[in-house]
Amino acid sequence: MSAAANTFDIAIVGGGHNGLVAAALLAKAGRRVVLCEALPTLGGAAGVSTLMPGMRAPKCAHVVSGFSPALIRKLNLKKHGLNVLQKDMSRVALDPGGRHIVFGPKAKATRENIFNWSSRDAESWKVFCGELDLLTSALVPLHRGVSPDLVPETWPERMAWARHYLRVRRNGREPFQKLLQLLPSNVGDFLDASFETDILKGALALDASLGSYHGPSAPGSLFYWTWQRAGELASPSGTLQVEGGPDALVQALASAARARGADIRTSSSVASIRIEDEETTGLVLANGDEIAAPIVISTINPKATYLNLVGAKHLDAGMARDVGAIRVRASAAKVNLALAQLPSFAKADEKLLAGRLLVAPGLAEVERASNPQKYGALPAYPVMEVTLPSIVDASLTPDGRHILSAIVPFVPLDVDGGWEGQSDNLIKRVIKTLGEYAPDISDLVMAGEVLTPRDLETHCGVAGADWHQGEVTFDQAMMMRPVPQLANGRSPIGGLFLGGAGAHPGGGLSGRPAVNAVAAATKYAKGGRS
């Protein structure tokens, strides 16, 4: 390739949805953009997997949560093939006996479902939602924009903090005190203080723990939960299901980027980021090719970006230590089943089963499932979030057949003694658990696959199988994400920006980290050094 063909305004590392959002936005803005993805396919965590001929399952992510409709419009993704089938997907606490609780947009219906279990809990529901919303709404603006600085040094920075303070204090003294008390608290105690129904607490605790390393009794788990909720609320249409699954979003983004001239390359592994005088000058690929670009946006995880691609020699000792200490470990496994027909869950119609089904009998069970991973073992009784995407998306399966997609949290990256045989154990436990809800399920399974956390790392490029590219805890969130030295678009290397889930505001299919990186890169290109 000629030198000119390898000279760009901006190079993007990683072809997950964040990388593609960045590529599409920058290409639309008229920049010459190249994107390098190491794997042969695009999508990262949003890829697709073919279980058997004609049966496709979402590889890792199985819903599109928090993706901004503004972005869909701006990038004209509908023209590029994106078809939204379902907005505001409900969550459902699944009950073996059919007394399901649907957490949908209609609060009254939810209260009626809860009333079937406990009139006290139905009464508490409103207060509970109020307290949850108090936390969530305090976090939404932080989720949307850049976070204020850890130690404000200028008056505008101090004013940013003051504005955040006044915004949440405005609601009164007591709500503010409540906020300060609840934010560092844990989900388990919060649920125990509010409800008595096991299945209600179990479903909410599972929802709160998805994507987290910790169980519901861990301090800070309430922050994690409300931070995820804030991410969904930051986008007005909530959780989406799109035709073809999250992979379709990826394809639409790639098509939008290519249509504007972005050079999207797969099987193109980046060996290092070129650096001269502490400024980036482009990329060196694994095959020896070089790409010249004064700006690089890395959407792979920050640890790999700085330790592998930049190299510790460009970092001061404190920063090398802090980056090396970033925890990337909230791993989950994925189980996909091809089913001959829809399994018979008690008293559940297709509408109900089209939601996100939360399989967790109680709070204690969720906590218990979170224990073994600490010692490199599998949960004996896994809890899981299940979707049946083929109910609303006929494109995934031939007539009548269905796909079941289960995210199983608290599965360690490596199990003691190796994965050999253990992935079989996991799928058996998953099918056995589901059998308690839909007894015919084991007879309906035509094919199944387990994507262990190791598989998700190897085949989807999700390092540590952590879809946040780094735990979302107080010490790794907002102005400390991924480390304070790299928050808010800061970098010791001029022109290098983080645009993946490892950057603020974190994972999920929101595209927001990429939007922030594009803004910072654009400012940099105009001469405003960050």
Partner 1 sequence: MAWVTHSLIHMERFDVIVIGAGHNGLTAAAYLARAGLSVLVLEKNEYIGGAAVSREIEPGFIYSSCSYALSLLRPEIVRDLELVRHGLRVMPYHGSVTLMGDGRYLAASSHSDVMRREISRFSKRDADAYQQYSRDMRRQADLVAPLLMQAPPDPASLSPSKLRRTLSLLSDAGAMGAAGVADAVRFWTMSAADLLDRYFESDVVKAHLAASATIGTGLGPMSPGSAYVMLHHRIGGIDGAGGAWGYVRGGMGTVSKALAASVHASGGEVRASSGVDEVKVSKGRASGVVLEDGTQIDASVVMSGLELKRSVLSLLDWKGLPKGFPDRVSKFKTRGSSAKLNIALDGHPQFSAVPDDCPSLDGDIRLCGTIEDMEHAYDDWKERVMPRNPYIEMVLPSRLDPTLAPPGKHVASVFVQYVPDTLIDGSWTQANRKTLEDVVLDKIEAAAPGFRKKVRHVETRTPAELEGEIGLTQGNIFHGELTLDQLLFNRPLPELAQYRTPVRNYYLCGSSTHPGGGVMGAPGANAASAVLSDIGKRRRVRRSA
Among 318, 398, 400, 417, binds partner 1 (CB under 8 A): 318
- Residue 280 interacts with partner 1 (CB under 8 A)? no
Token output for 82: 């994106």
Task: Find the shortest distance in angstroms from Cβ 379 to partner 1.
Answer: 13
Among 5, 107, 159, 180, binds partner 1 (CB under 8 A): 180
Identify which range of 51-59, 95-103, 168-176, 403-411 contacts partner 1 by CB under 8 A.
168-176
Q: Which is nearer to partner 1, 293 or 477 (CB)?
A: 477
Cis peptide before 482 (omega within 30 of 0): yes
**Which residues inside 13-52 make contact with partner 1, applying CB under 8 A?**
none
Q: Which is nearer to partner 1, 96 or 219 (CB)?
A: 219
Q: Which is nearer to partner 1, 4 or 151 (CB)?
A: 151
Query: How many CA within 13 A on the CB side of residue 162?
Result: 6
DSSP 63: S
Contacts of 181 (CB under 8 A, 6+ apart): none
Q: How far apart are CA 478 and CA 487, in angstroms?
A: 8
Task: Find the shortest distance in angstroms from Cβ 475 to partner 1.
Answer: 5
Tell me the H-state helices in 234-380. Answer: 246-259, 302-304, 317-324, 350-353, 363-370
Answer yes or no: are the C-beta atoms of 70 and 168 closer than 8 Å: no
Among 167, 169, 347, 432, binds partner 1 (CB under 8 A): 169
Q: Which is nearer to partner 1, 275 or 472 (CB)?
A: 472
Among 344, 371, 395, 458, binds partner 1 (CB under 8 A): 371
3 state SS of 498: strand
Task: Find the shortest distance in angstroms from Cβ 418 to partner 1.
Answer: 19
**Which residues inside 142-161 make contact with partner 1, applying CB under 8 A?**
150-152
Identify which range of 56-64, 73-81, 183-191, 350-358 contacts partner 1 by CB under 8 A.
183-191
Identify which range of 75-83, 301-309, 444-452, 469-477 contacts partner 1 by CB under 8 A.
469-477
Which sign does the torsion angle of CA 415, 449, 266, 330 carry?
negative
Task: Find the shortest distance in angstroms from Cβ 291 to partner 1.
Answer: 33
The CA-atom distances, in angstroms, between 138 and each of 103, 109, 164 are 22, 26, 9
Q: How far apart are CA 18 and CA 499, in angstroms?
A: 7
- Residue 325 interacts with partner 1 (CB under 8 A)? yes
CB atoms within 10 A of CB 523: 13
Cα 106-108-111 angle, rounded to 5 deg: 115
Q: How far apart are CA 57 and CA 342, in angstroms?
A: 15
Answer yes or no: are the C-beta atoms of 31 and 302 closer than 8 Å: no
Q: Which is nearer to partner 1, 66 or 489 (CB)?
A: 489
Q: Which is nearer to partner 1, 218 or 396 (CB)?
A: 218
Among 116, 368, 425, 442, binds partner 1 (CB under 8 A): 368
Q: How far apart are CA 299 and CA 321, in angstroms?
A: 21
Token output for 475: 């010490």
Site string (237-266) toward partner 1, x via CB under 8 A: ------------------------------
Answer yes or no: are the C-beta atoms of 48 and 247 closer than 8 Å: yes
- Residue 367 interacts with partner 1 (CB under 8 A)? yes
Q: Which is nearer to partner 1, 177 or 269 (CB)?
A: 177
Site string (422-461) toward partner 1, x via CB under 8 A: ----------------------------------------
Of 409, 422, 388, whose CA–CA distance to 468 is shortest?
409
| SS (HEC) of 7-51 | ECCEEEECCEHHHHHHHHHHHHCCCCEEEECCCCCCEHHHCEEEE
Interface residue list for partner 1 (CB under 8 A): 150-152, 169, 173, 176-178, 180-186, 189, 193, 214, 217-220, 318, 321-322, 325, 327, 367-368, 371, 374-375, 473-475, 480, 483-485
